[in-house]
Structures are given as C-alpha cells and as structure tokens.
Amino acid sequence: MIALTLAEIAAAVGGELRVAGEDTTETVVDGIVDTDSRTMTPGSVFVAKPGAETDGHRFVGAAVAAGAAVAIVEHTVDVPVSQVVVPDAVVALGALAREVVARVRAEGRLRIVGITGSNGKTTTKNFLARILEDEGETVAPVKSFNNEVGAPVTMLRVTKSTRFLVSEFGAAAPGSIAHLAGLVEPDLAVVLMVGMAHAGGFGGIEATAKAKSELVSAARVPGTAVLNIDDPRVAAMKDLALSRGLDVIGFGQSDAADVRAVDIEVSASGTSCVIEVGGERLPLRLRVLGAHHITNALAAIASALVLGIAPADAVARLETVEIAERWRMQPLGSDRVRIINDAYNASPDSMAAALRTLAQITGPDERTVAVLGAMSELGESAGEEHDRIGLLAVRLNIQRIVVVGPEARRLYLAAVGEGSWDSEAVHLPDQDAAYEYLRTELRDGDRVLVKSSNSVGLRHLGDRLGELFS
C-alpha cells in the first residue's frame, strides 16, 4: 500500500482512530493490507473481518506479533496496537482501496482493467497480466481474488509506480460487480461471456447478463468496453457502452470482431490459431489446452491493443504462458497417463468445453476418461444441466465416465440412459473411492479429465492422480 498516516487511514474508512504506544495520528503506515493474520509483515494493516466460522478479531494479536502496525476492527480488542474502529470491516476495506487507487490514479500513470464473465476471468486476467508486465509494474489478483475481500486486497497492492491494475470481478449477487467496479471505475471493462455459472443465485441467465453488464455501467468515461462479440448477451452490451460514451472493441471468431481468431486447432501440446487484427494475420500457439482459451487470449490481446501494445508483442508474450492457473486445464501425470486437472471450478459451459477438449486431444490409440463431479450454484437448472453434461459425454464418445459424489448422480444416470453401459460409466460415493477405482482402472495411453466445481474438491483427486502417474 502507498504510505498513509493513521489519520488518513481513519478518514478514508470513516472510522474512529485510537492510537496506542508511541504512535500518533501522523504515524505513517505503508505495508500490505489483508484479512489474513498469517500474511502480515512489518508495517502492515490487518483488517479484522468477522466470518462464518471464525472472527478476525481473535487474530489481532497474531497479526501484531507478525508485524501489523494498525488494525481495522469493528470493536476494540485488548491488544497493544493502534486501531481504527468501523461499523463494518469489509466495507472499510473497500473504502480504503478506493482511496488508495484514487491517489495513485491522480498521479496520471495508472490504467485500470476490469474483467468479468461467467467463465474465463482468471485465465484472461493471467494472460493480460503477462502481456502488461513487460510494459511496467502490473498488479493483478492472486488466484481468483475477485470478491468483496479479494478484489480490494488486490487493489491495495498498487504503488505510485504501478502502471496497470488488472481487477477480476465475480458476482455473488446482483449489485456485486457494480460495487466492486465502482471502487476503481476501470478504464477498460472486459466482458467475456454470460453463462449458467451462478445462474441459480440470480434467477436465470438474463439476470446474470444484467449483473455482468454492471461492469460496463461502472467504467470510467472516456473509456472502452471490450466485448465478446460471439456471445449475443455480451454483444448486446454495446448499446449500453455507446450510450455512456465508451468506445467499443469486439473480439471473437465472428467476422464482426475487431480482434478475430481463425483456423483454431487443438492438440495435446496446446492450442493454435491465427489472430486477425488491423489487417495483420498473426499465428498464435498457446501452450494452454482447450479451444475455449482462445477466447480468453483474444480478450487479452484486444485489451492490450487499447492500452497501446502492438498485437504482435501481445501474441509473443502469450506464447510464453505455460498454464492458465493451477487446477485450470493443468497437465499432470506423464505421457503414459496424462491427467488434466480442471477442477477449480465448473459450470455447464466450462464442463462442456473441457469435455470437448478431452475428445480433441486424444489420439486413436488412446482412451478418454472423464472424472466428473457436481456443478454448484445452478439453482432449479441443476438437474437439467447435469443431464445435459451426461448426454454430451456419451455423444463425444468419452470411453470411461467416472462420476463422483451424490450431487452428481443425475449426470451418471443421464450417461447410462444415453447408452454408456457395461461399466463405461460408474458412480462412486467420494474422492477416496474414485482414487482406489482409478488407481487400478487407468492404463497406458489414457487421457484423463478431472472436472468439478471447487466446492466438490476433485482438484485434490486430480493432484493425487497426477502424482501417482508422474
């Protein structure tokens, strides 16, 4: 965080400052800001966030022992450290992020990119950060820090030398993106796609589209909306963007795209295509598996173009990226038995894309094995969407379908009903049972996809299988 006095921190969050020890209102703090006491270093700001399972106020002492210089709290604690008392610690965290980013932006160098979409946010964020880091200091979220805590914590990492802030915005509920994006008013609003992910919490896909459009509404004017022209619900946001005075740049495979991909090919070693932009044709070979990641690459290239980076430079930097992120189409195992661990998250769209990738990268003498768990947060659509994935797996001729957990049973039943018989599809109660089954079932030449929502935890099964067959 940039240097601020205790008085400035208190003013930014609207809190009551209570100094301790040798501190004064003018004591300067410039360390990291976090809700995790384990990350504290000398001069840090600890935000005591109450939680469902524990309360951050219990860890103020540990934070101070690790070096925290001040704690933002909802009530004073009996620990010798200066404290800023606020009604809501999470709201205060966001307010502090707003103040810090505004001060850095006032210096005139900082450009801010906001990214949202039902799928692809983290991969696009990583792609764009890789392109931008060669231009100057770039701050981007660790993992998927895209909620009311993770997004402000990332924003607070900016310094006066930061040139680019890449923020990833998830939507826990209607208004979430409007709030988070409103903290920084991005110069670029990047919308990737509108899918069924989290649709259960929004009341349907149209409500999800409205939530994603909040990013376009929150963008800074003058600014740019970077939109997936292949997704009709995203493309429809062009009217909103133009009505606000934003420029619009479209990406996709459509002829209408300003940054377009053609000649897409998927193999076990990566994904290739030709990028068409501004009259240029640029070959791109990603090491990342899956045709769906071409969309994420297009979004990153289009965003970089708006920020003044030549497409050829953007393409060259993307080709150095080895994996999108841990547990996202992550190759594990060996050439003998290849494990693709894509179990950080799952929606109907990402599940379908991963299954298609598995089918595309498996040779004629190799066997496809899909280890699938439940997709969460689908609401009333959950049964139908699990049915659809079961049918798709069979129609893609996935040769072994291993369904894990009771929540995914409908996926298994749909696969069996579609014709996956004679042990081609099995249903197992949990990860341990699946591991024991796969330990003896997998053989040389197998290509294995592990896919589920994060809450199911199959990513750990993927790691175990990767280690077993390494």
The 10s digit of each residue's pLDDT in 156-165 is 999 999 999 9
Report the pLDDT averaged over residues 419-429: 82
Q: Tens digit of pLDDT for each residue in 199-258?
A: 555 667 888 899 999 999 999 999 999 999 999 999 999 999 999 999 999 999 999 999
pLDDT at residue number 397: 94
pLDDT at residue number 338: 95
Q: Tens digit of pLDDT for each residue in 10-29?
A: 999 999 999 999 999 999 99
pLDDT grade for 421, boundaries at 50, 70 and 90: low
Judge whether 122 is annotated as a binding position.
yes
pLDDT grade for 442, boundaries at 50, 70 and 90: very high
338 vs 173, more confident: 338
pLDDT at residue number 146: 86
The pLDDT > 90 percentage for the chain reads 84
pLDDT grade for 325, boundaries at 50, 70 and 90: confident
In terms of CATH architecture, what is 330-468? Alpha-Beta Complex (3.90)
Judge whether 217 is annotated as a binding position.
no
User: CA-to-CA distance for 289 and 36, rounded, in angstroms?
Assistant: 33
Judge whether 51 is annotated as a binding position.
no
pLDDT surpassing 80 at residue 420: no
Mean pLDDT of the chain: 94
Contact 415, 378 (CB under 8 A): no
From residue 176, give the alpha-carbon distance in Å to each of 25, 88, 165, 186, 298.
Answer: 34, 16, 19, 15, 26
Domain ranges of the chain: 4-88, 107-318, 330-468
pLDDT grade for 344, boundaries at 50, 70 and 90: confident
pLDDT grade for 322, boundaries at 50, 70 and 90: confident
In terms of CATH architecture, what is 4-88? 3-Layer(aba) Sandwich (3.40)
pLDDT at residue number 121: 92
pLDDT grade for 198, boundaries at 50, 70 and 90: low
Q: Tens digit of pLDDT for each residue in 388-415?
A: 999 999 999 999 999 999 999 999 999 9
Contact 181, 115 (CB under 8 A): no
pLDDT grade for 422, boundaries at 50, 70 and 90: low
pLDDT surpassing 80 at residue 197: no
CATH topology for 107-318? UDP-N-acetylmuramoyl-L-alanine:D-glutamate ligase (3.40.1190)
Q: Tens digit of pLDDT for each residue in 131-156?
A: 999 999 999 998 778 899 999 999 99
Judge whether 445 is annotated as a binding position.
no
Judge whether 123 is annotated as a binding position.
yes
